[in-house]
Amino acid sequence: MAYLKPDKPEKVFVPALREAKEKGEKLVCLTAYDYPTARIVDEAGVDIILVGDSMGNVIHGYGNTIPVTLDEICSATKAVKRGSHRALIISDMPYGSFHTGDDEAVRNALRLMKDGGAEAVKLEGGRNRVGLVKRLVDEEIPVVAHVGLTPQSVHKMGGYRVQAKTADAAKTLIEDAKMLEEAGAFAIVLELVPREVAEIVTNELSISTIGIGAGAACDIQVLVLHDLIGFTFGRQPRFVRQYANVSEVITNAITRWMDDVKTGNYPSEAESYGFPEEARKEMKA
């Protein structure tokens, strides 16, 4: 298989994000949850890989991110780590892994870094997570914050809707972002917020904004890989631009293989193993 060669082969570390922002250079981030996709994403030159709890939707079929466990994220992170050499690897703190006290949250984040090989963790929440972000950063754990639509709050929010649509809500989100920057987060995900609000946050913060459904002003764009390559089911949100139809490619391959089996075209002699001549003679003797 021929992979595209990244034009920037050096390993991406946390400080590279700030340097890119200062230079006005856009970075890109995609999700991956396993070895082969991590290899493809990394070798294509993507700067950041997020082992996101979106795995709950796209690979486990849970319908939301709530049931995703620390074990699942940790195991996925290990596989992603083995498949990537250049990209910065960020692992999501799943629902329940940082809600029962700061010590427990630190233990869980350390597990993602020590056992999984994560190079940073991401957690959802605004001002209510400021103390925890400070604590994690104090323990040498690089943290990405996540505001706007926070899918782990799906039940509280009552669905997946654009956030910060009123002046008050926008002011609160901007304040939250500033507080999380002050607490030590090195980047912040802005999910499903109006592009004007994302632009203000991007301009007012010195840390990088990672946008998804948040317009073009963000320093970094992130997408769920499965959405980008058309390996999902159902209607996609408006911010998803689908660049391939992998579901169709897989269905075609399976259909052709089934036809070949049923018509006797698979496997051919070249796709099976002959019994050695010597052994055949011995069998007859």
The one among 12, 224, 225, 229 contacting ligand KIV by CB under 6 A: 224
- Would the CA dihedral through 10, 243, 64, 253 be positive or negative? negative
Q: Does the annotation count 191 as an active-site position?
A: yes
Measured from each CB, the residue nearest to ligand KIV is: 52
Q: Which range touches ligand KIV (CB under 6 A), out of 47-55, 75-83, 171-179, 261-269?
A: 47-55
Q: Which is nearer to ligand KIV, 194 or 213 (CB)?
A: 213
Q: How far apart are CA 120 and CA 184, in angstroms?
A: 12
Q: Which range touches ligand KIV (CB under 6 A), out of 52-60, 93-101, 104-112, 175-183?
A: 52-60
Q: Which range touches ligand KIV (CB under 6 A), out of 16-24, 46-54, 165-173, 246-254?
A: 46-54
User: Taking CB under 6 A as the rule, does residue 177 contact ligand KIV?
Assistant: no
The one among 193, 222, 228, 229 contacting ligand KIV by CB under 6 A: 222
Whole-Å CA distances, 111 to 106, 121, 144: 8, 11, 17
Looking only at residues 100 through 159 of this chain, which bind ligand KIV when binding is defined by CB under 6 A?
none
Residue 55 · residue 225 · CB < 8 Å: no
How many other C-beta atoms lie within 10 A of the C-beta of residue 119?
A: 22
Q: How far apart are CA 283 and CA 220, in angstroms?
A: 67
User: Taking CB under 6 A as the rule, does residue 212 contact ligand KIV?
Assistant: yes
Q: Is 48 left (phi over 0), alpha (psi -120 to 50) or beta?
A: beta
User: Taking CB under 6 A as the rule, does residue 32 contact ligand KIV?
Assistant: no
| Shortest reach from residue 264's CB to ligand KIV, in Å | 44
Q: How far apart are CA 53 and CA 57, in angstroms?
A: 8
| Shortest reach from residue 149's CB to ligand KIV, in Å | 9
Identify the CA nearest to 219 among candidates 241, 243, 189: 189
Residue 58 has which token pair? 């796209």
User: Taking CB under 6 A as the rule, does residue 31 contact ligand KIV?
Assistant: yes
Q: Which is nearer to ligand KIV, 195 or 266 (CB)?
A: 195
E strand segments, the chain:
27-31, 48-51, 88-92, 120-124, 143-148, 187-191, 208-212, 220-223
User: Taking CB under 6 A as the rule, does residue 46 contact ligand KIV?
Assistant: no
Active site residues: 191
Residues that bind ligand KIV (CB under 6 A): 31, 50, 52-54, 92, 189, 191, 212, 222, 224
